[in-house]
Amino acid sequence: MHGYHGQYLRIDATAGAARAVPLPEGVLRRYVGGVGLAAWLLHRECPPGVDPLAPENPLAFVFSPLVGTPLTTSAKFAVAAKSPLTGRFNDALSSSHFALNGKKTGSDALVIVGRAAEPSLLLVDDGAVRVEPAGDLWGMTTPDATAGLKDRYGPDWSFAVIGPAGERLVRFATISHDNRHAGRGGLGAVLGSKLLKAVGVRGTRRTPVAEPAGVVAAARDLSARSFGPATAKYRELGTVANLLTFNRLNALPTRNFQAGQFDGAEAVSGEALNAAARVARQSCAACTIGCEHIYALASGGREPPVQSGEQGADATRSPGTVRLEYESLFALGPLCGIADRDVILRAARLCDDLGMDTISAGATVGFAMECAERGLLGNQTPPPIPLPRGGRGDRKEGGRRLGASSPSPRGGGGRGEGSLSLPVPPPPAGEGEGKGEGAGARGRGLPHFGDGDGLLSLLDRIGRRDGLGDLLADGTRRAAEVIGGGAADFAPHVKGLELPGYEPRALQAMALGFAVGTRGADHNRSGAYEVDFSPDADRRHGDEESARRAVETEDRAALIDSLILCKFLRGVFPDLWAESADLLAKVTGWDVTADELRATARRVIDAKKLFNIREGWTPAEDTLPKRFLGEPLPDGSAPGAALPEGRLRAMIRAYNLARGWTEEGWVGSVLTPPSAATCGGWPGGPGRPPPG
């Protein structure tokens, strides 16, 4: 077999043991790798109805046939599990040497189940697995844990680590590697629930390719094109360039999606950041684009009000720089009403250190700000969640620890205490009441829009599950259920996943993409914004044709995420399907065609949807919060843009039919509602791989 090892490694963290499971070539050809193979693996390995934070929930690191080839941007991998944030299929992609070293361990995927007895480190060394105590790392930030592990084990190893947020089961915790993050859906909490601080990989096993000379030639050609105009934006300014553009189009989510334009947009724009604070540009492993723009935190600026841990003042030391993307910029800036560039940079750095998804973190704080300004925050008590034993966040030795002083994720007697809950202290009443919007929140010490210190403080409290942060650490959907008072109407999520930086009323094909996304509101699995920004669509009046075109953007994403290549390359392919088939043929030796890959992409999307159906999906989930369906946007370049519910429903129907599903979104006739409720999986019983 070329391009693959033909097996995955099923690792039991409880026993510290592993076994290799064969992957038939037919499965690999039908699902390719990355997200596609992850979907197949979760159908096979994930017990129906499993609690996402239970030991039985498998966490899969999945590689692809292109990993290890000289093709630019191919050092990527997918991480997948049933999400603790959404309860649905979740996958997150990232790029780093972890992909290269992970595949060299000798498997096409690492599937981790079980739970270690104490905070531990999982090491996969050329196929051999061991679990080592890692109590000394528990409580460390992601960069410090990564640096400590590199120092301890040497440069041959790569590590995927969690920060304090993952340890405390924050439902939007990330998994970090080379200080990049597999960000969405709370996969860091899944790793934390297994009491694993990190997964380390090292290996020597390479997979041959079918046409070595052809792959090298294709790699040279692709690299040359990657320097061209289609990727210029990413190289020269980075994704932060979106902010001012979206602001001009009234599509920049502002103050928890209450507006599409932000008064402070110029001050926090990519253009301004580039001029004032950019210090370097970097690339992912094996990438020629170089889209990572690094910014300096202002010297002498305000330190983030991080609660000091046992190391006292050491917990507030500033690392000095941060990588920033548009999604972090919008979520920690305009969405929270923040117009202070340095506060945004510090907030992004804090999220990275704690290991939290910047989109969900910023969206959750923005949501809390609106709740506070509406007078809805008070004595809410988050529902208890079961906590794994043995993971106290109070170790002392070495490294930078944020919030390590908190004795347990729930503020009680440590993780060993089981289910705990902590009431949010009622705010002092009537202190310093001001005037105008948000005055009450300001006066009572609650977060309010534009409050930079409040943002930084609340992010830290979320990462430590302290007080109000404990409630918000469960994401906006769960927080809204506890807060009540109509908060659910403006909690910015789909299926529990917070919306990225695209205002749905101003970009209505994207609104559809959010509503139907299998992992929730998502800009990486649906590129429907491309429809909105095309000459033959009206972005403020989505229609059935927009929906049909959105399907194509999802299919392309499914292919790219299964190969895996970087989506920033998409503009360099005149014909993605044909070129992808050619690349895959050169690597695997298969006589694969563009049409076959189109069918593969559809199969991958079907498999993700079928997983969700198995886990309880209903058509009612495919929608947007009431705010977007009931409130038009205020003035701007899309004045009064509104998305009536009937219009969204018509688009969803068109989308479902274009996918070959029923009008409501059930997949074919195999799993209609009665059988979905009873069969628990694929025809023939649970755990069987999907057909086709």
Partner 1 sequence: MVRVEFYGLARLRAGVAGAAVEAATVADALAAACPGLAVVRAGRVAPEYLLSVGGGRFTTNPDDALAAGDTLLVLGADAGG
Interface residues with partner 1 (CB under 8 A) are 228-230, 232-234, 236-239, 241-242, 244-246, 248-250, 270-271, 274, 291, 325-327, 502, 523-524, 527, 529-530, 533-535, 538-540, 567-568, 570-571, 637-638
Closer CB to partner 1, 275 or 620, in the complex? 275
Give, for 516, the enclosing helix (H) or strand (E). Answer: helix 508-516
Q: How far is CA 448 from CA 48, 172, 364, 443, in A?
A: 41, 22, 12, 10
Separation of alpha carbons 265 and 339, rounded Å: 7
Tell me the HSE value of 273 on the side-chain side, using a 13 A CA sphere: 36
| DSSP-based three-state secondary structure for 442 | helix
Packing angle of the helix pair 594-614, 544-563 (nearest 10 deg): 100
Return the closest-CA partner of residue 659 out of 604, 617, 597, 620.
604
Closer CB to partner 1, 194 or 519, in the complex? 519
* Spatial CB neighbours of 396, under 8 Å, sequence gap ≥ 6: 310
Residue 222 CB, nearest approach to partner 1 (Å):
16
Residue 510 CB, nearest approach to partner 1 (Å):
9
DSSP label of 57: S
Angle at 356 between CA 354 and CA 362, to 5 degrees: 115
CB 545 within 8 A of CB 563: no
Closer CB to partner 1, 158 or 242, in the complex? 242
Residue 282 CB, nearest approach to partner 1 (Å):
15
Closer CB to partner 1, 223 or 308, in the complex? 223
Closer CB to partner 1, 240 or 297, in the complex? 240
CB 302 within 8 A of CB 275: no
User: Quick one: CA dihedral 90, 94, 96, 101, positive or negative?
Assistant: positive
Separation of alpha carbons 688 and 112, rounded Å: 19
* Spatial CB neighbours of 634, under 8 Å, sequence gap ≥ 6: 258, 259, 260
Which amino acid, one-letter code, is at 643? L
Residue 559 CB, nearest approach to partner 1 (Å):
15
Closer CB to partner 1, 530 or 615, in the complex? 530
Residue 649 CB, nearest approach to partner 1 (Å):
24
Closer CB to partner 1, 327 or 357, in the complex? 327
Residue 276 CB, nearest approach to partner 1 (Å):
14
Separation of alpha carbons 89 and 573, rounded Å: 29
Closer CB to partner 1, 237 or 369, in the complex? 237
Separation of alpha carbons 160 and 621, rounded Å: 32
CB 256 within 8 A of CB 330: no
Residue 58 CB, nearest approach to partner 1 (Å):
30
Residue 568 CB, nearest approach to partner 1 (Å):
7
Closer CB to partner 1, 105 or 358, in the complex? 358
Residue the block writes with tokens 């030991």: 55
DSSP label of 340: -
Closer CB to partner 1, 508 or 656, in the complex? 508
Return the closest-CA partner of residue 251 out of 643, 638, 541.
638
Residue 4 CB, nearest approach to partner 1 (Å):
29
Closer CB to partner 1, 491 or 641, in the complex? 641
Closer CB to partner 1, 291 or 581, in the complex? 291
Question: Which tokens hold the place of 611?
Answer: 């997983």
Residue 160 CB, nearest approach to partner 1 (Å):
23
Residue 491 CB, nearest approach to partner 1 (Å):
24
CB 612 within 8 A of CB 681: no
DSSP label of 689: P
Closer CB to partner 1, 240 or 368, in the complex? 240
CB 458 within 8 A of CB 356: no
Residue 572 CB, nearest approach to partner 1 (Å):
9
In what side-by-side order are the strands of the sheet with 7-12?
Answer: 17-22, 7-12, 109-113, 59-62, 76-82, 89-95
Q: How far is CA 106 from CA 101, 149, 684, in A?
A: 9, 22, 31
Q: Phi/psi at 329 (nearest 5 deg)?
A: -60, -50
Residue 533 CB, nearest approach to partner 1 (Å):
6
